[in-house]
Structure 1
Amino acid sequence: MVLLPIILSGNSSSLSTGKALFEKALTQIKAKAWAEALELLKQAQAQAESTPELFHALGLCLQNLAQAEAAEKAYRQALSLTPDAIESLNNLAWLLRNTAPEEALSLCCQALTLTPIDSEAALALLPLQAELLLKLNPQGLYPVWKNWLAHPQARPEDWLAGAQQALKIGAPEKAFELLEAGLNRFPWEMELRLTLLGLYETYARYTPLIQKSLEGLRALPEWQKGDQAQLYAFLARAYQAIGEEAQAQWALQEAQKRKPSDALKLEALLMLPLLYQNSAQAQTARVRFISQLESLKNGPPLCIAEPFRELKTAPFYPAFQAELNRAPFEKLAEIYTRFLPSFQPEFVKGSGRIKIGFVSHFFYEHSVLHLFEALISGLDPCRFEVAVFLIAPAIQDARTQHLADRVENFFSLSGSLAQSLRELAAWQAEALIYTDLGSDPFSWCLAHYRLAPIQIVLPGIMQTTGIKSLDYYLSPEVMEPPDAEAHYTETLIRTQALPVMPRKPKRSSPLLSRAELGLPADRRIYLCPMTPFKFHPLFDQILAGILKQDPQALIWVLMHRQDGICQKLAGRWKKSLASFDAQLHFAPWQPPSQFLHLLEQVDVVLDSWPVGGGNTVFTCLGLGIPIVSWASPWFRGRVALGAYRLMKIAGPVAETPEETIQLALKLAQDSVWREALKSEILAKNQILFENPESLREFSDFVTEKVIAWRKTV
C-alpha cells in the first residue's frame, strides 16, 4: 500500500493561527508519529478554517491508526473542497479497495487522468489499479501492466507483483513474459531470476530453465556462493527431468560444493533417474538408493531449518523401479522425523458436525483435482464442515476457484512449514485427509505430524508413505492383490466402491477423422498414452511381441512436455527394439479435447507397467474404449484390472507379458470382439464416475472413526 503524504497547495497561510500547529503535525507525519500528529491536527482544526490539506493529513493519520471510518470521512471532506487532489483520491482508493472496490477503482482511474503516467503518483496508483482490476475485470490488467512496468521508477518487486497477478488470473504466459522482461531490465536481481526459474520448473519448461540458470551462473561474482548453489540446484532438477542423470549429479555436486546443505543430501537421495535404459540400470539405481537411504538413516540427524524453502523433491520416483517400497519408505520417514521440528497441537472434542480437512499441493487443473473434487464438494454439509487446504500453491486457476466456491472453508497456505502447521492446527480438523502424498515436498513434510485425531491417505499417489502419523490408506478392494496389507504402513481399508469420483469424459462432435488427427488409414495403431517415464525396460517386451507378430502395427507414444525423456526413450528403443524402428512413432502431446478423439480412432490402447494409468484409464473406459493392461503386483499398476472387475467385465488384462501381447493382438484384429467389448463398457461404466456409493462409503468411514475418537476423549 502506497499512501501519498500531504502536498501543500500554496495557500497554507489560510490556516491562520493554526498554521504553526499544522506544520508541527507535518513534522510528526514525516516521522510516522501518527498519534502525535493527529492530536496536533485536531488542535489546528479547532483554530483554523477547514482546508483540503488539513483534511487530507487527518485522513492519513487516521488511516495509519486503523480508524478507517474516520479516515474515509476526512478524505471525502478534502475532496469536497478540492475534487482533483490526486493524493486524497489515491489514499481514499487504497482505503476502500476491500470494502468498496468498484468505487476505489473509479477513484484510482480518476487520479490517473490527472497525473503524467511516468510520475511518482502514477507509480503509487498503477499497482492499486492492477489489484482492483484483478478482482473486478482481469482482462483490463494488460494495459495497466504495460504502463506500470514501463514506469522509469518501477522496481523489481513491481515485476514480481505483476507476474503473481498474471498467475492468479490463469495467464501463465503473461507471467513468463513479465518475469523475463523484468530480468532483462534487472539482470542482477536474484529474486526475479529465482522466481522465473521456479515458474519454468512448475510448468516443466526445462530448456529455458537451464539457459537462464547457466546465464545467471556466468553473471554471478565468485563470492555469491549461496546464489550459485541455488542456481546449480535448479540445474540439477532440470537435468534430471529431461533424463540427463550424469548432468544432474554434476550440478548437485556443484551446489553442494558452494553451499554444503543437508537438504541437498536428501535431494541427492530422491533424485532418481526418470527413465531407465535397461533393467540393469534400474537395478543399479535401486541398490544405490537403498545404500544412500541407509547411510542417511544411520548417520546424524539432518539439519534442515526451513524445509518448505530448502526441500524441492519428494519420493515420487521409487515407484517406477518395480519394487515394493514399504521398507525403504519407513526408513525415509525416520529420516524426516528426526529433522522436522516438533509440533504437537492439542485436539478439541467436537459435538456437532464433523470437521474434515483436505490437504494437497495440486488443487488446480491437475489429475488430483479430477479424481477428488466431486468427493470433496459432495460431502453432506449437514454432517460435515469441510475445509480445503491448498499447500504452498504454485498454481491457482479457474479450477481452484471453482473448488473454493463449492466448499465452506478454503485456505491457501503459502507460508513456512511452521506457519502452515499453525494454520492447519488452528482449524481443529477431526479428520485430515491427504489426497496425494509423494509428488510434492510440502504435503509430504506436513504428513509427518499429528494434526488431527484421524489422518487418512487417499490414493492420489498409489503407494504407502511409511509415515507413522497416518492412520488409514483407502484403496479399492478390486484393485489390490490378496497380500496388499503387507504393502502399507497405514492400516489398509479395502473399500467396496472407488475412493475417487472422476467425472465421465465427454467428447465433442463430430468425431475427428484419422486424417485430421494425422493417423495413417491403412495401419493398426497401438497407442501408449501414458507419460513415458512409466515405461519400465521390461515393458519393451510387450511392444516387441506386438511388432513381431503384427506387421501392420504402429506403436504411438505421445511426446510429453518433458521432451528430453522422449528422446531418452527413443534412444532406448533404438537398442531394445532396433528391428522395429520404423514402426515406432512419437506424436505431439494432445490438448485434452483432441486427445479424446485420438483415443477413439486408434485400434488399441496399451497401459504402462509397472505403474499403470490412473486418470487415463478412467478416460478410456468413460468413452467405452478398452485398455489392454499387464497387471503389476502392486496397486499402482492394477487400476485397469480393478475397473473391469468393478464393472463385472472380463476385460483384456493379463498376468504375464505373453498373455498381454496376445490380448493386444486380438483386440486390434478382432473388430467384432472390440465392438462388443466397447458396447459392454459403455453399458456398465457409470459405476466408475461420480458414484454416490463412493461418497456414502467414505462419509460413513470418516464418521465412524471420528465418533469412536470422540468417545475416548
Structure 2
Amino acid sequence: MLVLKDSINTAIQEYKRGNLVEAQTRSEEILEKDPHHIDILMLLAAIAQKKCQFDRAESLYRQIIEIQPDGIMAYGALGDLYLLRYQNRWQDAIEAYQKVLTLNPSPKIALITHNYLGKAFIESGKIKQAIAAYQQVTQIQPNISIGHYNLGNALAKDQQFDEAIEAYQKAISLREDYYEAYSNLGNLLKAQGRCTEAIAAYKKAMAIEPNFERPRFGTLTSQIPIIYQNIEEIEASRKNYSQYLQVLVDRYQNATSEERAIYADAVGTSQPFYLAYQGLNDRHLQQQYGQAIVSLMHSRYPQWSQPPMLPPLQTNEKIRVGIVSAFFHSHSNWKIPIQGWVENIDRSRFELFGYYCEPKPDIHTKIAARSFDQFEMGQRSLEQWCQQIESDRLHVLIFPEFGMSSIALQLGCLRLAPIQMTSWGHPQTSGLSTIDYYLSSDLMEPENAAKNYTEDVVRLPNLSIFYAPLKLKPIQISRSDIGTKDDDILFWCCQSIYKYLPQDDDVFPKIARSLPNSKFIFIQHSRGKYVTDIFYERLRRSFAQFGLDSTQYCVFLPRMKTRVFAGASALADVFLDSIGWSGCNSTLESLDYNLPIVTLPRDLMRGRHTLAVLKMMGIEETIAADKDDYIKIAIRLGRDFKYRQAISEKVAVNKHRVYRDLEPVRALEDFLARTVGQKIDRPGERR
C-alpha cells in the first residue's frame, strides 16, 4: 500500500514539474494494478488536457463518473473542459455544473461552480440565467468583488443598466483598484448619456492602470454626447473630440510596435457611433480615427496587414464573397441591406460566406444561415475568425456596417481579402485605409458624394437594396392607449430621439400653433431617462418661445416590441421624418399603413433616405425645399383631410415600386464581377 502511495505521489510530482510523459507512464502503471483509482484517472485527464487531447480527457471524466456517480470533482472538471476547451459546447458545460450543484457541494465549490455556470450561460446567450448564477455567487460570498463585477457584466448585457451600475459600484467598494470595473462603469454611464460621469470613471481606471487602453477610447467617444442641450454644445463637443483624438494619434505614433500591439486590445470597445448624428461631414475625423486604429491592429497582427493576392478565377469558377456582421438576426442591418442581397444574388456566379461574429441567434438567424453556402457563427477569438476567413480564400469581403460591432471593426482594420467593402448599415464613412469601396444608393447620395468618404463610392441604382415588406400582424391598440384623442392629428416622430438636433426643435411648435389638435408622438430613449429628459426639456423651451405648453402636444411612448410598435404606427396620420438623419427602416415600414411622409433632405446621404423612397414612388410634393416648406407641408397634411387622403392613396398605389427591386442586386453582381476581373455576360444584355 505504501509503495502504491509513493507511486501516486511520484506521478503527481512529475506532472507538477511538467514532465507529462513520465507522469503519464507512472499513472498508467498504477492503473494496471488499480483500474478504478479515481485520483489517477483525474491526473490522466489533466495530462490529456495539457496535451490538447480533449476527447480523451472527456472520456476519462466520463469513466470516473461511471465509477463514482456522485463525484463532484469529475462533473466540475468536465464542465470546465466543455467551457474552456471546446467551442460551442456551452449546454454540456451547463449540465455538468448543474449536476455539481445537485450533489450538495461545499460553499467554496458552490461559489466556483455558480461563477463558471454564469460564464457558460453568458456564452450560450442565456443572459437571465447568467444573472441568476452570479446572484448566487454574491449571496454565497457578498464580499467577493469579482462576483459583483461579473453580475454587472451580465446585467449590462440584459440592458439593466441601473442595476449593472450598482453592481460595478459594489465591486469597486470592495476593491478600490478594480480598474476594469471603473472602465465598465464608464461604459454604462456613457450609454445612458451621462458623459461627464463616464469620463470621471475612465480617468480613475487610467490612473490605476495607465496601460489599460479601453478607458482612453471610452474617454474619446464620451466627448460626443448622445443628445445635445443646445446648438453650441455640438460645436464644443466636436472640438473636444478632435483635440482628444489628436492626443491618441500622438500617443500611438510615439509608441513602439510592441506597445501598439498591446493597445490593440482596446480597438472597437468604444466607437464614435454618435459622431455621425451631428449632421456634419466627418470624413477628416473618421480618417484620423481610422489611421490610429489600423496602426494598432497591424502592429498586433502583421500577418494580416497586407492584402492577399486576388485568387485567379478558373473557368466556371464562382466569385467567393464573404459578409461579416454581428446582425444576422432581427435587426435593421439584416433587413437593410443584407437579406435582400444574399437571398437574390445569382448563385450560379457567386458563392456566399457568412460570418456571424457576435451571435444573438433568433428565427432570422436560421433564415440567414440558409442563405449562405457557408455560414459560420459562435464565440471565437479574433485570431480564429481571421484564420477562418483567410482559409476561405475570398475574392471580396463585405462589412455592411462599422460603428456598432467591436469584432467587425477589428476585422475591418485588417486585410483578410484582396477587395474589401462596407455599406450603409451605419451610414458613415469608415475612415479605414483597409476598406476599398462604399456600397451606397444612387438616389440617396448627393452629386458631390465622393467628398464625404475615404472609400470609393459605388452608387447602386435606386435604394441600392432589395426590400420586401414585413409579414407582420400589428397588435391593435387604440388612441386612448397612447394618451391621445380620436380627433387629434397624430404626427409619427418615431426615430431615435438623438436624431433630432436642437436647431430644428422649432418645427414642432410652429406646426402646433397652426394645428391646436396636433400631437407629436416620440419614443423614449432605451437606456434610461437621462437622454429623454434632455430632449423633453428642449421641447419645453422651444414650445414656450411660442407661448405653448409642450406637454399638451408631445407624447413620449416607451420602447415597444415590434408588433406593438406596428400597432402604434397604424394610428398615425402623418409620418414626420427627422431632419438631418432621415428615417429608412422606419420609413419603409410606415408604407404598410400608407402614411403621408414629410421629409427635408440635407447634404449627407444619411439625411436623404426618405427622399429616395418618395422619389421611387413618384411622390415629390411632400419633399420640402427648406424648413419653412417642411412646416407648411406638415400643416397642410394635418389640416386638409382630403389632401392627406389623396397622398395616402398615392402611397398605397405606388409603394410597390419600392418593394422587391432586383435592379440594385444585378448592379451589385456586375460591380463585383468587374472588380474581381470576371467578364460580364448576361444573355440578352451584354456580350
The 3 A distance-change label for structure 1 pair 169 and 513 is farther
* Residue in structure 2 matched with residue 382 of structure 1 by the alignment: 348
The 3 A distance-change label for structure 1 pair 135 and 566 is same
Is 1:88 the counterpart of 2:53? The answer is no
Give CA deviations for 1:518-562 in whole Å, capped at 9, x if unaligned: 432232222211111111102201112111211111222112212
* Residue in structure 2 matched with residue 369 of structure 1 by the alignment: 334
Q: Aligned to 2:440, what secondary structure does the other structure show?
A: strand
Instruction: Give the drift of 1:273.
Output: 0.8
Is 1:269 the counterpart of 2:231? The answer is no
Is 1:484 the counterpart of 2:449? The answer is yes
Is 1:173 the counterpart of 2:123? The answer is no
The 3 A distance-change label for structure 1 pair 659 and 503 is same
Q: Distance in 1 between matches of 2:89 and 2:382?
A: 28
Q: Distance in 1 between matches of 2:385 and 2:567?
A: 43
Partner of residue 416 from structure 2, selected from 451, 468, 475: 451
Contact kept, 8 Å, 1:546 with 1:664, in 2: the verdict is yes
Contact kept, 8 Å, 1:355 with 1:428, in 2: the verdict is yes
Contact kept, 8 Å, 2:90 with 2:124, in 1: the verdict is no
Is 1:580 the counterpart of 2:530? The answer is no
* Residue in structure 2 matched with residue 539 of structure 1 by the alignment: 504
Instruction: Give the drift of 1:616.
Output: 1.1
Instruction: Give the drift of 1:69.
Output: 9.9
Contact kept, 8 Å, 1:644 with 1:650, in 2: the verdict is yes
Is 1:252 the counterpart of 2:214? The answer is no
> Which residue identity does 1:346 align to in structure 2?
P
Is 1:335 the counterpart of 2:285? The answer is no
The 3 A distance-change label for structure 1 pair 147 and 560 is farther
The 3 A distance-change label for structure 1 pair 300 and 241 is closer
Instruction: Give the drift of 1:494.
Output: 0.9
Q: How does 1:1-20 map to 2 (within 5 A)?
A: none
Contact kept, 8 Å, 1:115 with 1:121, in 2: the verdict is no
Give CA deviations for 1:294-326 in whole Å, capped at 9, x if unaligned: 444456526551534565211211111121111
> Which residue identity does 1:570 align to in structure 2?
Y
Question: How many pairs align?
Answer: 651
The 3 A distance-change label for structure 1 pair 184 and 70 is closer
Q: Aligned to 1:246, what secondary structure does the other structure show?
A: helix
Q: Aligned to 2:507, what secondary structure does the other structure show?
A: helix
Contact kept, 8 Å, 2:475 with 2:567, in 1: the verdict is no
Partner of residue 635 from structure 2, selected from 665, 675, 682: 665
Larger mean CA deviation between 168-177 and 57-66 belongs to 57-66
Partner of residue 240 from structure 2, selected from 282, 288, 297: 288
* Residue in structure 2 matched with residue 100 of structure 1 by the alignment: none
Give CA deviations for 1:465-520 in whole Å, capped at 9, x if unaligned: 22222111111111111211221121111111433344412342674332345432
* Residue in structure 2 matched with residue 231 of structure 1 by the alignment: 181
> Which residue identity does 2:349 align to in structure 1?
R
Q: Aligned to 1:470, what secondary structure does the other structure show?
A: coil
> Which residue identity does 1:390 align to in structure 2?
Y
* Residue in structure 1 matched with residue 470 of structure 2 by the alignment: 505
Instruction: Give the drift of 1:44.
Output: 9.2
Give CA deviations for 1:130-167 in whole Å, capped at 9, x if unaligned: 99998899999998697489874546664354345545
* Residue in structure 1 matched with residue 580 of structure 2 by the alignment: 610
Contact kept, 8 Å, 2:599 with 2:622, in 1: the verdict is yes
> Which residue identity does 1:287 align to in structure 2?
K
Partner of residue 404 from structure 1, selected from 366, 369, 374: 369
Partner of residue 170 from structure 2, selected from 215, 223, 229: 215
Is 1:649 the counterpart of 2:599? The answer is no
Q: Distance in 1 between matches of 2:577 and 2:100?
A: 46
> Which residue identity does 1:314 align to in structure 2?
Q
Give CA deviations for 1:364-394 in whole Å, capped at 9, x if unaligned: 3322122213423444443222222233x27
Contact kept, 8 Å, 2:252 with 2:292, in 1: the verdict is no
* Residue in structure 2 matched with residue 315 of structure 1 by the alignment: 272
Contact kept, 8 Å, 2:283 with 2:453, in 1: the verdict is yes
Q: Distance in 2 between matches of 1:191 and 1:24?
A: 39
> Which residue identity does 1:259 align to in structure 2?
E
> Which residue identity does 1:280 align to in structure 2?
E
> Which residue identity does 1:498 align to in structure 2?
L
Contact kept, 8 Å, 2:70 with 2:103, in 1: the verdict is no
CA RMSD in angstroms, aligned pairs only: 4.1
Instruction: Give the drift of 1:432.
Output: 0.7
Structure 1 unaligned residues grouped into runs of 5+: 1-12, 14-18, 76-85, 92-110
Larger mean CA deviation between 493-502 and 318-327 belongs to 493-502
Partner of residue 694 from structure 1, selected from 664, 668, 678: 664
Q: TM-score, normalising length from structure 2?
A: 0.82
Q: TM-score, normalising length from structure 1?
A: 0.79
> Which residue identity does 1:580 align to in structure 2?
D
Contact kept, 8 Å, 1:28 with 1:36, in 2: the verdict is yes
- Identical amino acids, percent of aligned pairs: 21
Q: Distance in 2 between matches of 1:211 and 1:136?
A: 30
Instruction: Give the drift of 1:57.
Output: 6.0
Instruction: Give the drift of 1:422.
Output: 4.0
Contact kept, 8 Å, 1:476 with 1:495, in 2: the verdict is yes
Give CA deviations for 1:161-204 in whole Å, capped at 9, x if unaligned: 43455456654323333233334434555555444434444444
Contact kept, 8 Å, 1:389 with 1:413, in 2: the verdict is no
| Larger Rg belongs to | 1
> Which residue identity does 2:239 align to in structure 1?
V
Q: Distance in 1 between matches of 2:29 and 2:432?
A: 65
Larger mean CA deviation between 592-601 and 264-273 belongs to 264-273
Structure 2 unaligned residues grouped into runs of 5+: 681-687
The 3 A distance-change label for structure 1 pair 71 and 165 is closer
* Residue in structure 2 matched with residue 430 of structure 1 by the alignment: 395
Q: Aligned to 2:458, what secondary structure does the other structure show?
A: strand
Q: Distance in 1 between matches of 2:347 and 2:130?
A: 37
Q: Distance in 2 between matches of 1:577 and 1:499?
A: 39
